[in-house]
Chains A and B, each alone.
Chain A
Amino acid sequence: MLSTRLSTAAFAAVIAFAASGSALAQKKYDTGATDTEIKIGNIMPYSGPASAYGVIGKTEEAYFKMINANGGINGRKINFVTYDDGYSPPKAVEQVRKLVESDEVLVVFNPLGTPSNTAIQKYLNAKKVPQLFVATGATKWNDPKGFPWTMGWQPSYQSEAQIYAKYLIKEKPNAKVAILYQNDDFGKDYLKGLKDGFGAKASMIVAEESYETSEPTIDSHIVKLKATGADTFINIATPKFAAQAIKKIAEIDWKPLHLLTNVSASVGGVMKPAGYENSQGIISAAYAKDGADPQWDNDPGMKKFLAFLEKHHPEGNKIDGSVVYGYGAAQTLAKVLEMCGDNLTRENVMKQAASLKDFEPDTLLPGVKINTSASDFAPISQLQLMRFKGEKWELFGEIMSGDVSN
């Protein structure tokens, strides 16, 4: 293939150039970058079972449109090419190959889903194309040695789970814990994190139940978990099922200490539909601000976010956690590209992505900062515990770091 050979040649030239130690003032490009344009690729489940997350891609598209309207990054417009993979790994491979070989993008940014990302990881690393800020919380993305071209973004599921385990060991050492988890990579990762976190105290877990997303309701699981006599409930579910669980627990008059994963800790998307009265006292952890939470009304970062929604992304629903997510991820990429300056090679993009220092996107909690290094490919690794009270989350305790090595 001519184009591959060319890019390999360019890559070799870059290395030679960097080694010679000369200044980086000169403009340098890989496939996908020119004087006027930077081409960014992305895949999202716009159709199929996970289509709720398609919002992330649409928000990112709107964000880059805003950047272009404001003059672009270092004078270059962003050309955001996003394709539908329907949450199916074979389709993800097809679409990513199209992005790399046909559209010739500089980086593949924020592809969504653990299965899809696993399917394309080997290919992108072999091609030396950055697989940047993947939209999944699996722990395996932080592996700079094995996969130097892959980097995560959000805190890993396992590190979040460990924070809950530590909290319980400290605050409720005699807890009898019942766990409900979604039977997929997301649920299993949390479960592993919890078990690792409890460590020697794993006997605190008295019951674990899994559910499938094809089930219309999860009532039966809740009834079964209540019957175990557990006094603590950990809810590892996606928004719809998390809300069902909150509501059912209230209906059957079970009053456990309720811990809810960050994935579903959305005021507008979960707590409100489940009923505020049913949600009181639920504990969760967060790294981003909640668009529906009134406590951020005067926050400068969130004001920027809301202004963006109003002007550039009117169909985006501010209570949808995915909108907040897409904004934060897109802002992180914009920062990295800005740092790249005129050296828009794939290698430099990875290098800059791995040198973020205390970067704070508008939508992250105060105090949560993005830090990366050549050996740390987990950009966000801090979370803060919070408790639901009235109609909003109240943050408590310190900002905790939950880095989990692979």
Chain B
Amino acid sequence: MELFTNQVLAGIATGAIYACMALAVVMIYQAIDHLNFAQGEMAMFSTFISWQLMQWGIPYWWAFLLTLIISFAGGILIERLLFKPLAKAPVLTNVAGFIALFAIVNSVAGLTWDFTIKQYPTPFGSSPFLGSQLISTHQAGMIGVTVGLLIALYLFFQFTRIGLAMRAAAALPESARLVGVNTSWMIALGWGMASAIGAIAGILIAPVVFLEPNMMGGVLIYGFAAAVLGGLTSPLGAVLGGFLVGVFENLAGTYIPGVGNELKLPIALALIITVLVVKPAGLMGRPIVKRV
């Protein structure tokens, strides 16, 4: 029983990582209506920027703020320079563009900061949280930030004009243009916000997994899985999905005899596919009705 509790707690702690990344995934999906494969790499690059700023002697919170601004601007810049020209190209060509961006960002980070792992500081400390050694104060802080971000996003998308306009631009670009939404800039704004949220995710994840150019490879797979499980249109679903994937993966690894440990990820993914087959829009996503 103790092992069970411990694995659940460890799963929640790891799940916070996935939840964070999943939020960024949902953000970009809301803005451009597909997934950005380079998102993890962009988050990694942002985290390196903040690390570099701190190396130059800038205090943590200033570095954090500066990084958010740089990432936001960087996201918009990438959209304007690289993806706006592809707006009329087929979707699959855009996906190829994401892959190209992935390769560029990863390679530039590797050359600039090399591949040795770097320690990344946390403002929350890493002592045991509330007496539990399984969740550190950093992980608790991470869950807190994720939930805060979730609420902020929810309010943004539900109640602000710009949030609504953004959703409209992604879901029904034609109609949104007719009611006067500048859909092109909405997409750019979405890129900027996704990039900034990715930066927060990277900064929170780096103290746990260590900072290096390939740090996001695995995280992104889980982030996608969590977002899809929760429903790509729902920030709340994405966060729940993150925790569910984290906990389920640990339990599968611990309790499924024989292959559980070696096949943790495939088992978790198989479960997600099963859920999708039953509920194609994810746990919290809005079902889509097609019109002919």
Q: Which residues of A contact B (CB under 8 A)?
A: 47, 49, 51-52, 54-55, 183, 209-210, 212-217, 219-221, 223-224, 227, 239-240, 243-244, 251-253, 268-270, 272-275, 315, 317, 319-320
Contact = CB atoms under 8 A, between A and B. Distances in A.
Contacts of A315: 114
B116 A269 contact: yes
B117 A252 contact: no
Given A54-B110, A252-B134, A273-B118, 15 more contacts: A51-B214, A52-B115, A210-B262, A212-B264, A214-B221, A216-B14, A216-B219, A220-B7, A220-B249, A240-B209, A251-B136, A270-B117, A272-B119, A317-B116, A320-B114
Contacts of A273: 117-119, 210
15 contacts: A51-B213, A52-B115, A214-B218, A214-B265, A215-B264, A217-B209, A219-B14, A240-B117, A240-B212, A244-B210, A269-B116, A269-B117, A270-B117, A275-B119, A320-B114
A243 B210 contact: yes
Contacts of B17: 216-217
Nearest to A52: B115
Nearest to A220: B250
Contacts of A217: 14, 17, 208-209
B116 A320 contact: yes
Contacts of B213: 51
Nearest to B119: A273
Contacts of A223: 3, 6-7, 10, 134
Contacts of B134: 223, 252
Interface string B247-259: 0011001100000
A44 B166 CA distance: 45
A227 to B, nearest CB: 5
A325 to B, nearest CB: 13
Given A244-B210, A273-B117, A219 B107 contact: no
B7 A224 contact: yes
B223 to A, nearest CB: 9
B11 interface: yes
Contacts of A227: 2-3, 6
B218 A251 contact: no
B53 to A, nearest CB: 19
Contacts of A54: 110, 115
Given A252-B133, A319-B116, A214 B253 contact: no
Contacts of B126: 251
B110 A243 contact: no
A317 B114 contact: yes
7 closest Cβ pairs, A-B complex: A52-B115, A273-B119, A216-B218, A220-B250, A214-B218, A227-B3, A216-B219
Nearest to A238: B117
A220 B128 contact: no
Contacts of A183: 262
Contacts of B2: 227
Interface in B78-129: 103, 107, 110, 114-119, 126, 128
A52 B115 CA distance: 5
Interface of B: 2-3, 6-7, 10-11, 13-14, 17-18, 103, 107, 110, 114-119, 126, 128, 133-134, 136, 205, 208-210, 212-215, 217-219, 221-222, 249-250, 253-254, 261-262, 264-265
B217 A49 contact: yes
A7 to B, nearest CB: 37
Contact of A210 (B14, B205, B215, B261): B261
A221 B10 CA distance: 10
| Residue in B14, B114, B221 with the greatest tally of chain A CB atoms within 10 Å | B114
Contacts of B214: 49, 51-52
A244 B209 contact: yes
A270 B3 CA distance: 28
A51 B265 contact: no
Contact of A220 (B117, B210, B222, B253): B253
Contacts of B253: 220-221, 224
A220 B115 contact: no
A272 to B, nearest CB: 7
A49 B10 CA distance: 26
Contacts of A49: 214, 217
A39 B109 CA distance: 31
A269 B114 CA distance: 11
A54 B119 CA distance: 21
Contacts of B6: 223, 227
A243 B117 contact: yes
A187 to B, nearest CB: 12
Interface centre among A183, A224, A275 (most CB of B within 10 A): A224
B11 A220 contact: yes
A272 B117 CA distance: 10
Given A47-B107, A215-B265, A216-B218, A224 B254 contact: yes
A223 B205 CA distance: 19
A238 to B, nearest CB: 10
A220 B116 contact: no
Contacts of A252: 133-134
Contacts of B116: 52, 239, 268-269, 317, 319-320
Given A227-B2, A269-B117, A220 B10 contact: yes
Q: Which of B10, B116, B219 has the most CB of A within 10 A?
A: B116
Given A55-B115, A220-B253, A240-B210, A215 B218 contact: yes
B91 to A, nearest CB: 26
Contacts of B117: 239-240, 243, 269-270, 273
Nearest to A242: B117
A322 B213 CA distance: 16
A270 B221 CA distance: 25
A24 B250 CA distance: 66
A330 B107 CA distance: 25
B277 to A, nearest CB: 24
